[in-house]
């Protein structure tokens, strides 16, 4: 890892919205909506990790929206994986369709749709945990002239650097593992090419999508411990996935660490998120999420505290009614399993 994260010095929290011209000339910063010192420092660190030009956004959805607004045009088909983050699909189908974009959903474990002008990949997908063959999918999309963005929120650049696999863009909800403490909302998009970063910068400026100084300061605090947190929560998730798989109240478990050979070609660990289906339908899933005590019954993932929730409340029939999504945090793995085992026994 080029940047030695633990050694990063925490910068001053500069909340200025405007900076004076120098002899009438623009300095490094002029107006916070364009750029500010904490965005620039976050982008330096993240760009170094990703091997590209990073831009900070107000949240993951702002980064995703910025990319679509910058690089898609009316008539384009945008391909988004089934079982991936639901709002990426909704952004295209419910909002940007009014501007002539078309959503095509596809199974990312196979090739991307030929008609797509812009392809999203999401390893490991939220909440179904599928994993694409990145090199093959990206090469196929490029052969047809499509652009490819990889949402690597679940893995972070500690485990996967999509630009090294020829993706055009890498994107993250920094609200999750990069932030890691459930106390900030931010997004980041990194570009393989400088000219794309310039274009995205212009879109961010005009649509007002930049992340603010306070969460950027917290993000820089968090990045120092990122590798430790990613490795620890991934190891715990794998342990819990294995234990869940053997439990009689559990019908199925989704986690690439349980033998996904394609995923294992790309990463040595699989992130904090897993999902599983309990026997007994939606009522059983709802009872289980409420019975957990150490694991918080809340949405989101990638924080120090483990979280669990039934996903159908958000995604309706896009997911199995008894699907629970669990994010392993930094607690003791044995205590987390005891909490789950007790909750499963009460079903
Ligand atoms: N990408 C993925 C994979 C996500 O899970 C999420 C949010 O859950 C987002 C993007 C959007 O991020 P944010 O909530 O920071 O806008």
**Which residues does 153 contact at the CB level (< 8 Å), separation at least 6?**
60, 85, 122, 126, 171, 172, 173, 176, 177, 302
Predicted confidence at residue 61, as pLDDT, reads 98
How far apart are alpha carbons 133 and 108 in whole angstroms?
A: 8
Counting as low any pLDDT under 50, the low residues of the chain are: 2
Q: How far is the CA of 251 from the centre of ligand 1 (A)?
A: 27
How far apart are alpha carbons 283 and 291 in whole angstroms?
A: 12
**Which residues does 261 contact at the CB level (< 8 Å), separation at least 6?**
none
Q: Which of 68, 82, 84, 153 to mutate to test the pocket of ligand 1 (most atoms within 8 A of CB)?
A: 153
Predicted confidence at residue 277, as pLDDT, reads 98
Among protein residues, the one whose CA lies closest to atom 11 of ligand 1: 60
pTM above 0.85, yes or no: yes
Cis peptide before 127 (omega within 30 of 0): yes
Predicted confidence at residue 62, as pLDDT, reads 99
Predicted confidence at residue 3, as pLDDT, reads 55
Q: How far is the CA of 49 from the centre of ligand 1 (A)?
A: 20
Ligand 1 first shell, C-beta below 6 A = 59-61, 85, 122, 126, 151, 153, 173, 175, 185, 187
Predicted confidence at residue 1, as pLDDT, reads 56
Q: How far is the CA of 61 from the centre of ligand 1 (A)?
A: 6
Cβ proximity of 276 and 326 under 8 Å? yes
Phi, psi (degrees; rounded to nearest 5) at 152: -105, 30
Predicted confidence at residue 2, as pLDDT, reads 45
Partnered with residue 250 across adjacent β-strands are 278
Predicted confidence at residue 146, as pLDDT, reads 98
Cβ proximity of 133 and 111 under 8 Å? no
- Strand ranges (E), the chain: 53-57, 77-81, 102-106, 118-121, 147-151, 169-173, 187-191, 250-254, 273-278, 296-297, 307-310, 323-327
- Report the run of H or E that residue 284 belongs to, with start and end: helix 281-291
- With H, G, I as helix, E, B as strand and everything else as coil, classify residue 135: helix
Partnered with residue 32 across adjacent β-strands are none
Task: Find the Cα–Cα–Cα–Cα dihedral 14, 20, 23, 26, rounded to 10°.
Answer: 70
Q: How far is the CA of 26 from the centre of ligand 1 (A)?
A: 35
Among protein residues, the one whose CA lies closest to atom 4 of ligand 1: 85
Domains of the chain: 2-223 (3.40.640.10), 226-345 (3.90.1150.10)
């Amino acid at each position: 890892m080029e940047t030695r994260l633990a050694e990063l010095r925490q910068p001053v929290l500069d909340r200025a919205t405007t900076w004076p011209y120098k002899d009438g000339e623009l300095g490094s910063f002029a107006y916070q909506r364009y750029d500010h010192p904490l965005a620039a420092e976050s982008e330096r660190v993240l760009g170094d990790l990703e091997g590209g030009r990073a831009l900070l956004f107000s949240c993951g959805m702002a980064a995703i929206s910025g990319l679509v607004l910058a690089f898609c045009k009316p008539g384009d088909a945008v391909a988004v994986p089934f079982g991936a983050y639901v709002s990426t699909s909704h952004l295209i189908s419910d909002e940007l369709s009014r501007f002539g974009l078309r959503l095509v959903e596809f199974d990312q474990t196979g090739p991307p749709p030929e008609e797509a002008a812009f392809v999203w990949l999401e390893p490991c997908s939220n909440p179904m945990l599928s994993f694409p063959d990145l090199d093959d999918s990206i090469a196929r999309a490029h052969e047809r002239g499509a652009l490819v963005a990889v949402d690597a929120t679940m893995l972070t650049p500690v485990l996967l650097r999509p630009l090294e696999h020829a993706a055009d863009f890498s994107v993250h909800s920094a609200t999750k593992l990069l932030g890691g403490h459930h106390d900030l909302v931010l997004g980041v998009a990194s570009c393989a090419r400088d000219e794309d970063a310039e274009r995205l910068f212009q879109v961010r400026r005009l649509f007002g999508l930049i992340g603010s100084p306070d969460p950027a300061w917290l993000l820089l605090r968090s990045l120092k411990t990122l590798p430790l947190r990613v490795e620890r929560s991934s190891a715990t998730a794998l342990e819990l996935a294995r234990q869940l798989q053997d439990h009689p109240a559990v019908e199925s478990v989704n986690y690439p660490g349980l033998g996904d050979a394609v995923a294992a070609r790309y990463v040595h660990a699989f992130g904090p998120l897993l999902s599983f289906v309990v026997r007994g339908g939606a009522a059983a899933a709802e009872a289980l999420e409420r019975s957990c005590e150490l694991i918080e019954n809340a949405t989101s993932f990638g924080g120090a505290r483990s979280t669990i929730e039934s996903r159908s409340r958000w995604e309706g029939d896009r997911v199995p009614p008894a699907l629970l999504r669990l994010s392993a945090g930094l607690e003791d793995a044995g205590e987390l399993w005891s909490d789950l085992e007790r909750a499963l026994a009460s079903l």
